[in-house]
A and B are shown apart, each in its own frame.
Chain A
């Protein structure tokens, strides 16, 4: 029996667009489980990113509830959500979003020091994570503008993981990268998932989606279907076909 990590009930999100309400998410009931690599797919404008923002506490829903463990986070104000994010979540963005004026190490520590005051342990952990994603000591001293896209995204992943979050949200993490560096980033995420990290990732890239064990398909603000791909294995050649069939069924 899987442990529910995050749960939504009748989650809805609407935006006002020139006086017309646009309903982006419609009554979504969803459970995300600890240890899963959940992938949210869908066509452009389906509401994937909006769902990710709502689940991660980056945005508040218009209606419905989001519960993390036993805590209803949809009722929290912006500071409450900030505290929730720093304690439980990690983020990997498409555009990377490192702070230009800080070194690589400082970008990671600025997130870590929000949660932990044990700087020594934090630095040790950061260095271990950097080593795991193949970021050298020299690179740690550089500024974001001096990094390649792949390096920057791997630094983003280290920053997302520095506080050992219960869940990592990734929004098109390979969207801005070329094929090779995108693959490296996916390997990194997959590697951490294999160590037990829960991941929720939005993508429209099939190659990326194959890394997940659970695929949700979103259409017109509703979850149209889901597919269980099982644990990722590099040698599992059936996986891609299974996902293709699912997506075809969903009208992809």
Chain B
């Protein structure tokens, strides 16, 4: 479909279809009549039949449609951009974030902040990391810019909590160390392309 009809801004010349909504009752007597007519039309039993049918389906034929939220959740697309996860290295279990600050820089709603320091092993340690979800617009730039695939969008879309701080500190987003084996490699927004390996050029090394 082309975009022509959307670009036509001359109201009235487009091909609109009018719905038949019938005639509005004019007097209160007409209104009363409409109510009585609709009430005793038998539509009620059509509805009750559907309910009964689905109850039988669900209880006896094992064809349940209801998702028991919040005990059950619908699977969502891997590309869905919900609350961020901070991933760990699979081998060592160390967090992947190197504290480069690129996510902090690229964040267009300026809601990422991190504290870093020089640690005893001469490495940059990320001592704290936070995202202000009151401001985050879930644009995914942070995940896209991350050179280490450390910050990704997760599947957790419930952004309600007693305190904002309870889901936005480093620890809350980091894969729990005991669930490291369950950590999934993310193939959503910002993930490496399938042919990434082929694009890598090796640095010549003399040894």
Pairing of A with B: no
Name B residues whose Cβ lies closer than 8 Å to a Cβ of A: none
